[in-house]
């Protein structure tokens, strides 16, 4: 697709996901002169860090998309709906981290280690899934391949930076205020996020009782696995963590397995890291997951009282995972898509890819 190092535009470069995308591109050694950074008119002309230097922000409303091979769309969904068609019209390929095109049947929704084969058709527009969904399917895909999955029940523990840079600022502001004995009003969330947990800040559908985040986890995992009837029962909760989401998962398999079988399946997946040491109490945590490319999985155990076969194997297991939602849950996944789009892409970091 690209005959030389791709010219990459990062839209939303001042935000939580865009900054992470720039950090990864710099880590991967992509030269600064191949990367353009865009944000809103408010930020145009300011600088964002890139490696040891900086990039000047351009106004996303006036991006010279025809000068780019790839656009990494990391601005909010409403902005994506304007910028993505312009970039496609100008001839760039687009990887969109927003939810604008995820449910479009003509747009592949890709987690490279799970359904990366969809990139073989060289689509021009690819959607990167919701962060909680990416972490869930990345952790469960090795189990699904080995034993099949009949249903999933999942509760999320989602970091405030999942709501962007403003969520992070709010946690810091409200935590400082609370420690100073001040009852500061929330702005980014309806509930105070410091020293608190609350139902995910997306609207609840009065008919289904599901909030938008939960709906995304159901619809997107079904689309990624091409499993329209898969039973997924999520409860999405925001917790006072800066970065990296965690999930408590109960999975019902199609075929019985032992705990050792699950560990073996998970240990063989490069995008998963088993962190499960009851002797030392070392399990996945958001802090441990922050900055990691892999999803950390631990506390792997059979559901108590679930039926077992004559060999003691069960179909029902519980596990706990933590994953960096700005990295594998957003920027890294989008860049892994970009990398897989072209074998000739100048991003030479194959050891990072599943
Ligand atoms: N945060 C996560 O964990 C996560 C995970 C997966 C997917 N996503 C998705 O990734 C996208 C970005 O999320 P985020 O958390 O990084 O949000 P964020 O921190 O609020 O950043 C939003 C970015 O979009 C830019 N922007 C706003 N209006 C724009 C415009 N008119 N033209 C161009 N750029 C504009 C902002 O620029 P200014 O600074 O100039 O306003 C900023 O750079 C969203 O679609 C989100 O759903 C987020």
pLDDT in tens, the chain (354 residues): 334 568 999 999 999 999 999 999 999 999 999 999 999 999 999 999 999 999 999 999 999 999 999 999 999 999 999 999 999 999 999 999 999 999 999 999 999 999 999 999 999 999 999 999 999 999 999 999 999 999 999 999 999 999 999 999 999 999 999 999 999 999 999 999 999 999 999 999 999 999 999 999 999 999 999 999 999 999 999 999 999 999 999 999 999 999 999 999 999 999 999 999 999 999 999 999 999 999 999 999 999 999 999 999 999 999 999 999 999 999 999 999 999 986 544 333 332 333
What pLDDT does 341 receive? 87
Ligand 1, atom 20: nearest CA belongs to which residue? 164
Cβ neighbour number for residue 43 with a 10 Å cutoff: 19
Residue 285 CA to ligand 1 centre (angstroms):
25
Q: Is 333 in the pocket of ligand 1 (CB under 6 A)?
A: no
Residue 246 CA to ligand 1 centre (angstroms):
22
Q: Is 58 in the pocket of ligand 1 (CB under 6 A)?
A: no
Distance CA 109, CA 343 (A): 20
Helix or strand holding residue 158 (H, E) = strand 149-158
What pLDDT does 209 receive? 98
Distance CA 317, CA 301 (A): 6
Q: Which of 193, 200, 236, 245 is catalytic?
A: 245
Alpha-carbon distances of 198 from 204, 205, 210, 342, rounded to whole Å:
13, 17, 14, 42
The reply to whether 245 belongs to the active site is yes
What pLDDT does 173 receive? 98
Burial class (CB in 10 A: 0-12, 13-18, 19+), 300: buried
pTM of full prediction above 0.75: yes
Q: Is 44 in the pocket of ligand 1 (CB under 6 A)?
A: no
The reply to whether 197 belongs to the active site is no
């Amino acid at each position: 697709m690209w005959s030389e190092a791709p010219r990459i535009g990062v839209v939303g470069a001042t935000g939580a996901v865009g900054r992470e995308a720039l950090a990864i591109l710099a880590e991967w050694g992509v030269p600064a002169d191949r990367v353009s950074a865009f944000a809103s008119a408010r930020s145009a002309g300011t600088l964002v860090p890139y490696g040891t230097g900086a990039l000047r922000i351009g106004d996303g409303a006036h991006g010279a998309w025809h000068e780019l091979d790839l656009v990494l769309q990391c601005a909010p969904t409403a902005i994506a709906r304007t910028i993505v068609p312009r970039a496609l019209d100008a001839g760039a390929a687009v990887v969109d981290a927003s939810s604008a095109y995820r449910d479009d049947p003509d747009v592949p929704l890709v987690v490279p280690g799970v359904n990366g084969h969809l990139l073989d058709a060289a689509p021009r527009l690819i959607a990167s899934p919701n962060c909680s969904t990416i972490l869930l399917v990345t952790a469960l895909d090795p189990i699904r391949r080995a034993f099949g999955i009949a249903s999933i029940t999942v509760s999320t523990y989602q970091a405030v930076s999942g709501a962007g840079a403003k969520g992070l600022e709010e946690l810091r502001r409200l935590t400082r205020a609370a420690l100073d004995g001040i009852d500061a009003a929330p702005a980014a969330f309806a509930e105070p996020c410091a020293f608190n947990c609350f139902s995910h800040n997306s609207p609840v559908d009065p008919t289904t009782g599901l909030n938008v985040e939960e709906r995304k986890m159901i619809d997107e995992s079904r689309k990624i696995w091409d499993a329209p009837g898969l039973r997924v029962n999520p409860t999405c909760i925001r917790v006072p963590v800066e970065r990296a989401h965690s999930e408590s998962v109960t999975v019902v398999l199609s075929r019985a397995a032992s705990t050792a079988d699950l560990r073996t399946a998970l240990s063989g997946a490069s995008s998963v890291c088993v962190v499960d040491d009851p002797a030392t109490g070392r399990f996945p945590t958001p802090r441990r997951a922050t900055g990691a490319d892999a999803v950390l999985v631990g506390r792997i155990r059979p559901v108590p009282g679930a039926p077992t076969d004559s060999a003691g194997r069960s179909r029902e297991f519980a596990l706990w995972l933590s994953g960096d939602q700005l990295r594998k849950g957003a920027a890294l996944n989008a860049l892994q898509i970009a990398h897989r789009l072209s074998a000739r892409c100048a991003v030479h970091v194959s050891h990072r890819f599943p």
